[in-house]
Structure 1
Amino acid sequence: MHINILEDSIIQQQRLRQYLEELIQENNWLCHDINTYSRSEQLLQDLPTKGSHDVYFLDIEIKGSDKKGLHVAQAIRNKDPYATIIFVTTHSEFIALTFQYQVSALDFIDKSQNCEAFKERLKKCLLHILSQNEQEPSLDLFKYHTAQAHFQIPFQDILYFETLSGSRQIVLVAKHKRIAFNGKMQDIENMDNRFFRSHRGFIVNIDNIEKIDKRNKVVVVRNHATCLISRRKIKALELLL
């Protein structure tokens, strides 16, 4: 579990972080990290290297903009359809707006309530998130964790990996999103036997291949996306399929 907090009040930010850390320690829950942000731009810059099932606690009013948190939630949902979004705010009048923005928030917590009630509400949210994860043991996740990037995504959503020309970055192209990160193609190739290195710059998920176009030397995957394939790799891929 990766937790991200967007709160422009340092006092409220540290209060929320403290309660979350206490709950995680008291219950021996696994949490990789808790990241705090005072500006929405900071959080949004980190989104490309985040992946599925991250947890976001968002204030709605940020730096005087009374609906900024809702716009951030939309950006998160576009990048990470599996994220858990929880609003922590004093603007209870905006509850109805969360439905209009279609961000599928888990909860709407009033930060003005007393400490005991506030912490108990946080606990209920975390318990729900963890129980949901436990109820999905069959979810086949691809997990990537390094010092520079960490994310996880359902394996069935992965179409292919592609190297970015002129950089050390790799782009994971999935059914509904793209994730850019620093890494080595050889490491990814060796992570699962369903990955096939079709070309120096491409690794394709065999489970999502629709056909091999020998004439144009490309592999066609779901969503009508294509990956290059070297002539010498065609026979090997045909045998796997």
Structure 2
Amino acid sequence: MFPIYLLEDDATQRSEYARIINNTIMINEYAMQLVAASDDPKKLLNQVDNPKRGLFFLDMEIGENRQAGLELASQLRQQYPFVQIVFITTHDELSFLTLERRIAPLDYILKDQDTDIIMQKIIKDINIVQKNLETEAHHHQELLGYKIGARFFSVPMADVIMLNTAKARPGCVVLTAKNKQVDFPGNLNAFEQKYPQLFRCDKSALINLDYISSYDYQNKEVTLMERIKCKVSFRKARELNKILKER
């Protein structure tokens, strides 16, 4: 889970910001978690468990210290140079200090704005981080992408077991992956062209060869992880047999 942290000394505002963060994560099904919401910079810093990842929403003024959030941000930037930092503050006059100290915040949200505007900016910042995570993931591993309505999703190709269609649901593709099964509008031809590492065993199924547990050549049937059985067309049977012998 990608960690998010919140520093805010006003209990009401802290609760509201935490609600916005948690709702955004839940509604969008992001692999994120609000790890800590605190009014104490030291306690918040002690809960940082990943030095390379994190999104920090920091109030600038904590108690009597007008620059407590700024000081924490400076410390974070020195210790964890790749984390994302967002200031939520009433002190717009301190924004120049973030440049002077080379903090490079993702955003600088002023509290004197309308509550809805603050909420939208928090949501926008979380979405930006999520988009960056998706881009990073594409660079490090290949993903299989699909769309449900207006929303895009992805799953690591290494987790994909198979894609198949069912006669009862024309125009629908069923994705079976490790710990996940979902169906969405689409067709196998498009996925076959885009992901050639998936093997077309017959007209209704694409399979990940890495998940084959057995292959009955005589009966033209392959068994995948989780005891999933797929028929193999006569035309594809010999090709699959040859591939498996060479692996």
Aligned residue in 1 for 2:135: 135
Query: For 2:102, what is the secondary structure of its paired residue?
Result: coil
Say which one has the larger Rg. Answer: 2
Task: Check whether the contact 1:70–1:101 (CA below 8 A) recurs between aligned residues.
Answer: no
1:37 maps to 2:34: no
Please, what is the CA RMSD of the aligned residues?
1.5
After superposition, the C-alpha distances for 1:75-105 in whole angstroms (9 at most, x for unaligned) are 1112211100000111111111110111111
Task: Check whether the contact 1:4–1:56 (CA below 8 A) recurs between aligned residues.
Answer: yes
Task: Check whether the contact 1:6–1:43 (CA below 8 A) recurs between aligned residues.
Answer: yes
Structure 1 residue 67, shift from structure 2 partner: 1.0
Pairing 1:40-119 to 2, within 5 Å after superposition = 40-47=41-48, 49-119=49-119
**What is the alpha-carbon distance in structure 2 between the residues aligned to residue 64 and residue 40 of structure 1?**
13
Aligned residue in 2 for 1:192: none
**What is the alpha-carbon distance in structure 1 between the residues aligned to residue 32 and residue 13 of structure 2?**
21
- Corresponding pairs, count: 139
Aligned residue in 2 for 1:21: 22
Structure 1 residue 139, shift from structure 2 partner: 4.1
**What is the alpha-carbon distance in structure 2 between the residues aligned to residue 18 and residue 38 of structure 1?**
16
Query: For 2:47, what is the secondary structure of its paired residue?
Result: helix
**What is the alpha-carbon distance in structure 1 between the residues aligned to residue 16 and residue 86 of structure 2?**
16
Task: Check whether the contact 1:17–1:34 (CA below 8 A) recurs between aligned residues.
Answer: no
Pairing 1:195-214 to 2, within 5 Å after superposition = none
Task: Check whether the contact 2:7–2:57 (CA below 8 A) recurs between aligned residues.
Answer: yes
Query: For 2:16, what is the secondary structure of its paired residue?
Result: helix
Query: For 2:32, what is the secondary structure of its paired residue?
Result: coil
Structure 1 residue 46, shift from structure 2 partner: 2.8
Aligned residue in 1 for 2:171: none
AA aligned to 2:128 is H
Task: Check whether the contact 2:3–2:34 (CA below 8 A) recurs between aligned residues.
Answer: yes
**What is the alpha-carbon distance in structure 2 between the residues aligned to residue 24 and residue 44 of structure 1?**
22
Task: Check whether the contact 2:56–2:86 (CA below 8 A) recurs between aligned residues.
Answer: yes
Structure 1 residue 111, shift from structure 2 partner: 2.1
After superposition, the C-alpha distances for 1:112-156 in whole angstroms (9 at most, x for unaligned) are 32222111111111111111111222248xxxxxxxxxxxxxxxx
* Larger RCO (alpha carbons 8 Å, 6+ apart): 1
Aligned residue in 1 for 2:122: 122
Task: Check whether the contact 1:88–1:111 (CA below 8 A) recurs between aligned residues.
Answer: yes
For structure 1, the 5+ residue unaligned runs are: 141-241
1:2 maps to 2:22: no
After superposition, the C-alpha distances for 1:59-82 in whole angstroms (9 at most, x for unaligned) are 111111111111100111122111
Task: Check whether the contact 2:74–2:103 (CA below 8 A) recurs between aligned residues.
Answer: yes
AA aligned to 1:59 is D
AA aligned to 1:6 is L
**What is the alpha-carbon distance in structure 1 between the residues aligned to residue 44 and residue 33 of structure 2?**
17
AA aligned to 2:47 is D
**What is the alpha-carbon distance in structure 2 between the residues aligned to residue 100 and residue 93 of structure 1?**
13
Q: Structure 1's 17 and 31: CA in aligned 2 closer, same or farther, altered over 3 A?
A: same
**What is the alpha-carbon distance in structure 2 between the residues aligned to residue 113 and residue 89 of structure 1?**
10
Structure 1 residue 54, shift from structure 2 partner: 0.6
AA aligned to 1:17 is A
AA aligned to 2:7 is L
After superposition, the C-alpha distances for 1:170-223 in whole angstroms (9 at most, x for unaligned) are xxxxxxxxxxxxxxxxxxxxxxxxxxxxxxxxxxxxxxxxxxxxxxxxxxxxxx
Q: Percent identity?
A: 25
4+ residue stretches of structure 1 with deviation over 2 A?
44-47, 137-140
For structure 2, the 5+ residue unaligned runs are: 142-247
Task: Check whether the contact 1:74–1:103 (CA below 8 A) recurs between aligned residues.
Answer: yes
**What is the alpha-carbon distance in structure 2 between the residues aligned to residue 61 and residue 33 of structure 1?**
21
